[in-house]
Structure 1
Amino acid sequence: MTSKHVTHWINGKPATAAGRQGDIYEPSTGRLSGTVDFAAQPEIDAAVAAARAAFPGWRDTSLTQRVKILFRFRELLAEHRDELARLISSEHGKVVSDAAGEVARGLEVVEFACGIPHLLKGGFSENVSARVDAYSILQPLGVVAGITPFNFPAMVPMWMFPVAIACGNTFILKPSEKDPSASVRLAELWAEAGLPDGVFNVLHGDKVAVDGLLRHPDVKAVSFVGSTPIARYIYETAARNGKRVQALGGAKNHMVVLPDADLDLAADAAVSAGFGSAGERCMAISVVLAVDPVGDELLAKIKDRTQHLTIGPGDDPTSEMGPLVTREHRDKVASYLDSGVAQGATLAVDGREIQVPGDGFWLGPTILDHVTPEMDAYKDEIFGPVLSIVRVTSYDEAMELLDANPYGNGTAIFTNDGGAARRFQNEVEVGMVGINVPIPVPMAYYSFGGWKSSLFGDSHAHGMEGVHFYTRTKAVTARWLDPSHGGVNLGFPTNG
């Protein structure tokens, strides 16, 4: 029996709608745990109308008052961090500690947005001409939307809406229908913090809801995180409809291990970055480029560590890795094991062999060795706990593979050679780089985003690029009466 019903949040309150619904599952058991409403055009129009009506008042709300609400929201997030983590774990499957870390990283962006009075300061130049001053101001866009993935149902939305709302915009969130409850809980916390009705809204659904936002004339900008094919579609459709777009796409993140690296550190990093959150994250390490002669030793260390991972339900405090989000996704990920072997790889660790009670969506840590660039396991974004080991003969060969890859989201190098590390960070065609750090997710005051097919648009998420994305610059040139000239009009009307 289903136990919950998740619906939209429009104009400061829940908004139940008759019509299509989707199922919500508990990944660790495979049990159907609830349903979620899917938005049709009436709900889309209602959310946009509420956001549009709220915009003038929120835009004109003082920065001091905005920050008071942001600080209160920040405190409520901290108070409810464990509750949110358990909610995320129940629908996504990731372990509670991982979910709590997700909330903490989102909280960092809220804290960054609390500095909005400083971040919105424009420029000023006095006397650019005789008694003429010039200055610039940053103003909000209006109604903006965020379309976010299942893998981080709290963190990724919080890459977007704290900055957008702090800048004076109103926001519509379209979260993944696979794990929708966290978004509604965030809306409730916003309301408790004192955010005016209509400033933050949540629309659930599928492509109907997405297309409705992309084409709505009152939506001024769209932020997206997801796969590259969908990011391209979001970018092209929204841009064609006159919107500003930041669309963050997929990834195939490589980790280069040089012969001088600390192999214990590298093995620990490969396991945590490859199998954390069951590999369902865009910053997961998918490929280890082992530079000769370290391949065999590194593989042995990684295999040993996978044997000591505890696989189990997310709400079990001893679990280090949970299930995948849906049965269909688990089956798709598992298919790469057979195709990898058929195409010539060696199955060093088979994640299908794990034994977990129940009918959950389980696949354990998996390692494919001797993978080559022609294989599907190398080319595709698997988005699961499958780590590919590619043997290379040199740093230069590793760089050739990295540069040829169509993705450019994140990468890492493990080495004790400072010169090699500096050369790597300078040469690699990737947006986020880790040096002896496996998952180089930037802090909130920097910006998150990749290069190549991992980004459509020209703005990364949060940090100052986020502030610029959610504002537009107005340049003002002003001349005023000069009292020292007896009130002579120097060019503007006396009531100017």
Structure 2
Amino acid sequence: MRRVAVHDIGHYIAGGAGETEAARYGDVFDPNSGKVQKRVALGTAADLDRAVAAAEAAQPAWAAVNPQRRARVMFKFKELVEANMEELAHTLASEHGKVIADARGDLMRGLDVIEFCCGIPHAMKGEFTHGAGPGIDVWSMRQPLGIGAGITPFNFPAMIPMWMFGVAIAVGNAFILKPSERDPSVPVRLAELMREAGLPEGILQVVHGDKEMVDAILDHPAIAAVSFVGSSDIAHYVYSRGVAAGKRVQAMGGAKNHGIVMPDADLDQVVNDLSGAAFGSAGERCMALPVVVPVGEETAERLRAKLIPAINALRVGVSTDPEAHYGPVINAAHKAKVENYIQMGVDEGAELVVDGRGFTLQGHEKGFFVGPTLFDRVTTKMKTYQEEIFGPVLQIVRAHDFEEALRLPSEHQYGNGVAIFTRNGHAAREFAARVNVGMVGINVPIPVPVAYHTFGGWKRSAFGDTNQHGMEGVKFWTKVKTVTGRWPDGSASGDNAFVIPTMG
């Protein structure tokens, strides 16, 4: 074991940072310049074993802490994150590429879940029935699973880890986080702040790595549950391998969210909403809105006429530019992937209205920038429609009527989020009830539920039957124990010994 260099990022195990047994490292880029700024240790099963051993030693005592005291740690952690907001936001932006305002939003949305966790004593209350049988009471209690793990993506390096570890730790588990190796600094800093907030050593740990570490987590017999967010193919892999190993698994995958625009919609508001929902964070969101479906040719033409100048007016800039609407994508490989999808759209016959390829920023020519892109006359047969692009690309798919617009998201392989823009309450109500998608927005372009509800899609957007955070999160990270109790008064004759007591 050796201590990593100053500019390298090591694991955070047993309350300490900087040690690793890894022989391999991954580059951490500054997407604004295209330069390598740090390296991150790519861990081994031995690193995970050390984290698990520390978790096993610490978790029973943490589970025995009463829930209001666990909640106080969450209160203090929230306070510390807010006090360090600017440091965290700038670090996040420097590794991810999103603009500072968006980085703050990443942190704040994670803190929403931490706020929910501050009320964990209420969320963990069980059920009670007095007099379920003669002198018999029945009650239930929620107890932690033991050790949980989270595998999180690059696009929300603060929010999604907090979605996972906040609830898991608040209910009494120890937690091992494997963040994306592309932007790992903020997750480590969050673990340090949790320790500063009073969390015992070994309860929240961070291990870095690639597929080798993921497989080690999925196979480790001491890890009871795994939460994952990433692409659908990997989500399916994580779910299948984790369940086969006897774990509880929730695995959130990709998306292709649609925005249905009815003829009566306020198009100025729609265009404003689409600008942020399709292009914010360079489109690197599972709740981005990359497909807009105008209903009727007249609606399509009016929408297109308004979209073109709005898209051309978008400012792409470095993360620290306060005037920029969005920054670079995460790395060179992802930039190439997005630009390849744009070319694919052209080859498939879609009309390229605004081309974002070849975008450069003076002084940052090697940064990973992709300009905003707009396609029209996209069809459901096109691979660019069927697959998630995950970049600043908006596609117009024209629908003849409401029923066709309803079918498009309902029949797509992904079912994460969808939105409808209309002034018609009946149309909105009908759409929300019938669409085959997990999260629905009505005149809300990114329908991410508030923290005390739950987040989760359908179809290939989610594997497993329990959603993220809220009460679904509490259920995922706990197991229910039901107790049937009787305090006899000494008068029982024993005549009913062969009858179920609660049937008396």
Do they fold alike, i.e. is TM over 0.5? yes
Residues 1:303 and 2:318 are matched in the alignment: no
Report if the CA contact (8 A) 1:161-1:171 is conserved: yes
Letter in 1 for 2:316: I
The correspondence for 1:248, drawn from 247, 252, 259, is 252
Distance 1:339 1:443 in 2: 37
Residue 463 of structure 1 corresponds to 470
Letter in 2 for 1:347: L
Report if the CA contact (8 A) 1:59-1:169 is conserved: yes
The offset of 1:116, in angstroms, is 0.6
Residue 432 of structure 1 corresponds to 439
Distance 1:413 1:347 in 2: 24
The correspondence for 1:211, drawn from 215, 222, 227, is 215
Residues 1:162 and 2:169 are matched in the alignment: no
Residue 6 of structure 1 corresponds to 9
Report if the CA contact (8 A) 2:289-2:446 is conserved: yes
User: How many residue pairs are counted as aligned between the two chains?
Assistant: 489
The correspondence for 1:286, drawn from 276, 290, 295, is 290
Question: SS at 2:397's partner residue?
Answer: strand
- Cα distance, 1:3–1:55 mapped onto 2, change above 3 Å: closer
Residues 1:134 and 2:138 are matched in the alignment: yes
Question: SS at 2:432's partner residue?
Answer: helix
Question: SS at 1:391's partner residue?
Answer: coil
Q: RMSD value over aligned CA atoms?
A: 1.7
The offset of 1:106, in angstroms, is 0.4
Question: SS at 1:351's partner residue?
Answer: coil
Report if the CA contact (8 A) 2:144-2:172 is conserved: yes
Letter in 1 for 2:318: P
Residues 1:418 and 2:425 are matched in the alignment: yes
The offset of 1:64, in angstroms, is 2.2
Distance 2:6 2:132 in 1: 66
What are structure 2's unaligned runs of at least 5 residues?
498-504
Report if the CA contact (8 A) 1:312-1:319 is conserved: yes
Distance 1:305 1:354 in 2: 17
The offset of 1:236, in angstroms, is 0.3
Report if the CA contact (8 A) 1:95-1:321 is conserved: yes
Distance 1:490 1:14 in 2: 65
Letter in 1 for 2:306: K
Distance 1:420 1:118 in 2: 38
Report if the CA contact (8 A) 1:96-1:317 is conserved: yes
Distance 1:438 1:163 in 2: 27
The offset of 1:355, in angstroms, is 3.5
The offset of 1:11, in angstroms, is 0.8
Report if the CA contact (8 A) 2:283-2:391 is conserved: yes
The correspondence for 1:325, drawn from 309, 324, 330, is 330
Question: SS at 1:45's partner residue?
Answer: helix
Distance 1:145 1:383 in 2: 25
The offset of 1:481, in angstroms, is 4.4
What are structure 1's unaligned runs of at least 5 residues?
none
Distance 2:432 2:487 in 1: 51
Residues 386-401 of structure 1: matches in 2 within 5 Å? 386-401=393-408
Partner deviation per Cα, 1:151-206 (whole Å, 9 max, x = no partner): 00000111111100000000000000000000110011011101000000000000
The correspondence for 2:481, drawn from 451, 454, 474, is 474
- Cα distance, 1:273–1:488 mapped onto 2, change above 3 Å: same
Report if the CA contact (8 A) 2:129-2:137 is conserved: yes
Question: SS at 2:108's partner residue?
Answer: helix
Question: SS at 1:125's partner residue?
Answer: strand
Report if the CA contact (8 A) 1:3-1:33 is conserved: no
Residue 314 of structure 1 corresponds to 319
Partner deviation per Cα, 1:319-339 (whole Å, 9 max, x = no partner): 111000000100110112211
TM-score, normalised by the number of residues in structure 1: 0.96
Distance 1:84 1:301 in 2: 37
The offset of 1:487, in angstroms, is 12
Question: SS at 1:239's partner residue?
Answer: helix
- Cα distance, 1:490–1:171 mapped onto 2, change above 3 Å: farther
Report if the CA contact (8 A) 2:386-2:413 is conserved: no
The offset of 1:140, in angstroms, is 0.3
Report if the CA contact (8 A) 1:256-1:289 is conserved: yes
Residues 269-280 of structure 1: matches in 2 within 5 Å? 269-280=273-284
Distance 2:358 2:368 in 1: 13
Residue 61 of structure 1 corresponds to 65
Residue 442 of structure 1 corresponds to 449
Report if the CA contact (8 A) 1:480-1:490 is conserved: no
Runs of 4+ in 1 over 3 A off after TM superposition: 485-492
Distance 1:325 1:143 in 2: 31
Partner deviation per Cα, 1:374-404 (whole Å, 9 max, x = no partner): 1121011000001110111111111122221
Question: SS at 2:137's partner residue?
Answer: strand
Distance 1:488 1:122 in 2: 33
The offset of 1:211, in angstroms, is 0.4
Residue 187 of structure 1 corresponds to 191
Report if the CA contact (8 A) 1:16-1:37 is conserved: no
Residue 502 of structure 2 corresponds to none
Residue 369 of structure 2 corresponds to 362
Q: Percent identity?
A: 51
- Cα distance, 1:297–1:123 mapped onto 2, change above 3 Å: same
Letter in 2 for 1:180: P
Which of 242-251 and 315-324 deviates more? 315-324
Partner deviation per Cα, 1:33-71 (whole Å, 9 max, x = no partner): 010001111101001111111111111011122111111
The correspondence for 1:452, drawn from 447, 454, 459, is 459
Letter in 1 for 2:383: D
The offset of 1:126, in angstroms, is 1.1
Distance 2:245 2:227 in 1: 14
Question: SS at 1:16's partner residue?
Answer: strand
Letter in 1 for 2:191: A
Distance 1:479 1:488 in 2: 15
Distance 1:489 1:314 in 2: 76
The correspondence for 1:94, drawn from 90, 93, 98, is 98
Distance 1:462 1:247 in 2: 13
Distance 2:295 2:39 in 1: 49
- Cα distance, 1:96–1:488 mapped onto 2, change above 3 Å: farther
Report if the CA contact (8 A) 2:158-2:186 is conserved: yes
The offset of 1:207, in angstroms, is 0.4
Partner deviation per Cα, 1:224-268 (whole Å, 9 max, x = no partner): 001100000000000000000100111000100011100011111
The offset of 1:304, in angstroms, is 1.1
Distance 1:296 1:164 in 2: 49
Question: SS at 1:341's partner residue?
Answer: helix
- Cα distance, 1:314–1:3 mapped onto 2, change above 3 Å: farther
Residues 1-80 of structure 1: matches in 2 within 5 Å? 4-18=7-21, 19-80=23-84
Distance 2:42 2:357 in 1: 34
Distance 2:83 2:493 in 1: 60
